Amino acid sequence: MFERIDHSATAQVRFSFNGETVIGNAGDSIAAALLAAGHKMFRKTPTTAAPRGPFCMMGSCFDCLVVVDGETVQACQIPALDGLVVTSPPVPKAQP
């Protein structure tokens, strides 16, 4: 499980993830704040609905995709800021 190395006091940010309030540290990426808050799965794959969460934490993969204020982004590349509305991307329905 993901755990912070440094637990010293720092400014906090609050944003929502799938309707739940998440509290992160100033300077966290969205992915780091979500992991520290205990969220392991950020999305499901479109083909099999397999759960996905951050893998590389540096923008090389796309496992941490989320929707931030209506735009699909890599959560590891976007700073966590007060008031953001973050959701899991919708899983497209399988085509017959």
Distances (CA, A) of 92 to 45, 69, 74: 9, 19, 18
Residue 33 backbone dihedrals phi, psi, to 5 degrees: -65, -40
Residue 4 is predicted with a pLDDT of: 73
Give CA–CA dist 90/54, Å, rounded.
17
- At residue 94, the 3 state secondary structure works out as coil
Residue 77 is predicted with a pLDDT of: 97
Distances (CA, A) of 34 to 25, 72, 82, 94: 11, 16, 14, 28
Residue 95 is predicted with a pLDDT of: 58
Domains and CATH numbers, the chain: 12-87 (3.10.20.30)
In 1-96, at which residue ranges do the beta strands (DSSP E only) sit?
Answer: 12-17, 20-25, 43-44, 51-52, 65-68, 71-74, 85-87
Residue 89 backbone dihedrals phi, psi, to 5 degrees: -65, 150
pLDDT digits (tens, 9 = 90+) for 84-96: 999 999 987 765 5
pLDDT digits (tens, 9 = 90+) for 47-71: 888 999 999 999 999 999 999 989 9
Residue 85 is predicted with a pLDDT of: 97
